[in-house]
Amino acid sequence: MKVYVHEKQIILVGKAWEIKQKLKEYSEQFQYVDEWTNAISQNFNSYKQADCRH
């Protein structure tokens, strides 16, 4: 099972049962996928800002 996280997308690669399990895991934190991608986008932006300071 692999999870590729980009600024505005999430790619899940694996067997159907693995993906279903991973989505169930994330559903405990986020009700909608949109909330999940927004949280990722915010983390990317803060990471980029921190990276620029060095």
Distance separating alpha carbons of residues 18 and 2, to the nearest angstrom: 9
Sequence ranges of the domains in the chain: 2-52
Q: The tokens of 49 are what?
A: 């800002």
The reply to whether the predicted model has a pTM over 0.85 is no
Q: What is the pLDDT of residue 16?
A: 97
What are the pLDDT digits (tens) for 4-29?
888 778 899 999 999 999 999 989 99
Q: Give me Rg for the CA atoms of the chain.
A: 13
